[in-house]
Amino acid sequence: MQLRGINYDTGFGGAVGDRSRRDFEPAVVRRELEIIATDLHCDAVRISGDDPDRLALAAHAAVDAGLRVWFSPFPMDRTPPQLTPYFAECARRAEEIRVRDPETVLVLGCEMSLFCTGFVPGAFLLERLRNAADPAAWAGFSREWDFGTMLRELAGVARQHFGGRLTYAAGEWEEIDWADFDFAAVNLYRSAANAGDFAQHVRAHRSHGKPLVVTEFGCCTHRGAADAGGLGWTIVDFDARPRTLNGDYVRDEAGQAAYFTELMDVFEAEGVHGAFWFTFAGYEYPSGPEPRHDLDLASYGVVRVLDGSDGTAYPGLTWEPKEVFHAVAARFARP
């Protein structure tokens, strides 16, 4: 495997009503990216978020730490006309990083058929998730834009400003023509629904003739999260103030670590070019003292975000490593 990496969130807004990361201190960002390089032994990082300034700051810090950068703008609730100038600006910022490291890759969005508007009924993500599989929700809905055409046009816009390699972080349900891209890239979560033939799912995504990169794979930290896959985070009651879990759940760090190991075994056996664990930290899911307020159980992070207090393993940082942190470090430390 050529790329062994992790996702790093710089913050985006709209998914569940507020920003995924509010605090963004440059010194903390630099320290976390150094830890990703030296302690987790990653050789690449997918830097994601909706703010080009934050993306650029984190990307420069990643290059300083010796990491390959996958520069990954993450627009939310935007229409295709709004995406054109947005990605043009992001491509210009990514080109600044590529000047420092020619291996920099620009990722033109993530699962935009759901995260952006105009392709599935609904003004917001949670509404679109509910409507995607509801035939009644599609009554009277007319797609104004063709998704494949939009991606081709965005690739053309990006290449006007960025001289490196391009890809797109696809959802497994999205049918992508990879002719305009340098990598086939897909977010692949194993769940109870596909566990029996997960290797075949991976193999199918290698049929395009382009190197396959898994831009996301991961598991939350509660018992049963491995069966939920990419929907493990939905155990949060997003209407509660403050937020709580929507039921009683049991912490299962060992299960999260096992998920990482098992999927890495599959990816390596199937000849995947690279894989990025999702994610370094679920900044919006802090751990609380009461079980119903331990939002970290809904987090895919390799670290447990603390509720305002400093950790002991890394003084000055408000998180502690979980079991999966050590599993990633041991796996990626191999030559």
| Residue 218 structure tokens | 């991961």
According to the model, what pLDDT value does residue 335 have?
Answer: 85
Q: What is the pLDDT of residues 260-273, one digit of tens each?
A: 999 999 999 999 99
Residue bearing the bigger pLDDT, 297 or 239: 297
Residue bearing the bigger pLDDT, 18 or 77: 77
| Residue 52 structure tokens | 């080009």
Which range scores top for mean pLDDT: 17-26, 216-225, 299-308? Answer: 216-225
Q: Which of 34-48, 131-145, 178-192, 238-252 has the lowest mean pLDDT?
A: 131-145
pLDDT, average across residues 18-27: 87
Q: Which of 37-41, 130-134, 214-218 has the lowest mean pLDDT?
A: 130-134
Q: Which of 142-146, 209-213, 261-265, 285-289 has the lowest mean pLDDT?
A: 142-146
Distance from C-alpha of 134 to C-alpha of 163, rounded to nearest angstrom: 41
According to the model, what pLDDT value does residue 129 have?
Answer: 86
Read off φ and ψ for residue 170, nearest 5 degrees: -85, 145
According to the model, what pLDDT value does residue 126 have?
Answer: 82
pLDDT, average across residues 308-331: 93
Q: Which of 19-23, 26-30, 81-85, 167-171 has the lowest mean pLDDT?
A: 19-23
Query: H/E/C letters for each residue in the chain?
Result: CCEEEEEEECCCECCCCCECCCCCCHHHHHHHHHHHHHCCCCCEEEEEECCHHHHHHHHHHHHHCCCEEEEEECCCCCCHHHHHHHHHHHHHHHHHHHHHCCCCEEEEEECHHHHCCCCCCCCCHHHHHHHHCCHHHHCCCCCCCCHHHHHHHHHHHHHCCCCCEEEEEEECCCCCCHHHCCCEEEECCCCCCCHHHHHHHHHHCCCCCCCEEEEEECCCCECCHHHHHHHHHHHEECCCCCCEECCCCCECHHHHHHHHHHHHHHHHHCCCCEEEECCCECCCCCCCCCHHHCHHHHCCCCEEECCCCCCCCCCCCCEEECHHHHHHHHHHCCC
According to the model, what pLDDT value does residue 16 have?
Answer: 53
What does DSSP say about strands 236-237 and 212-217: parallel, antiparallel, or unpaired? unpaired
According to the model, what pLDDT value does residue 297 have?
Answer: 98
What's the mean per-residue pLDDT of the chain? 94
For residue 3, pLDDT beyond 70:
yes
Task: Supply the angle between the helices 147-159 and 80-100 in degrees, to the nearest 10.
Answer: 40
According to the model, what pLDDT value does residue 29 have?
Answer: 97
pTM of this prediction? 0.96
Q: What is the pLDDT of residues 201-247, one digit of tens each?
A: 999 999 888 999 999 999 999 999 999 999 999 999 988 888 999 99
pLDDT, average across residues 106-129: 92
Structural domains for the chain? 3-223+251-282+322-332 (3.20.20.80)
For residue 318, pLDDT beyond 80:
yes
